[in-house]
Amino acid sequence: MNENTLGIIAGILTSISMIPQLIKVIREKNVDEISLVMLLVLISGLSLWVWYGFMKDELPIIVSNAFAVLVNISLLICYMLYKKSS
């Protein structure tokens, strides 16, 4: 299999797996299961992966980790919104 195709499929699968948690948090407006520290560690790590992707010039790495950063920043926004109101 072509390396890029493989990376794109891998990226789609790992991206899909993150969506349900975001939907659940948005729907239930409940962030009790989310650890702020771990979310910040994860966002830092994913951002470094995006940087790594740019250095290596690998589009699958850049796109899938940038998507993961977006999902987890959305979770962070939910955390700040829903933690206040509880």
From the CB of 69, what's the least distance to a copy of itself, in Å?
11
Contact 31, 83 (CB under 8 A): yes
Using CB under 8 A as the criterion, which residues of the chain lie in contact with a copy of itself when the complex forms?
3, 6-7, 9-17, 20, 33, 35, 38-39, 41-42, 44-46, 48-49, 51-52, 55-56, 58, 60-61
- Name the nearest CA neighbour of 66 among 50, 52, 84: 50
Half-sphere exposure of 19 (CA within 13 A, CB side): 8
From the CB of 48, what's the least distance to a copy of itself, in Å?
4
From the CB of 84, what's the least distance to a copy of itself, in Å?
23
Token readout for 12 is: 């789609």
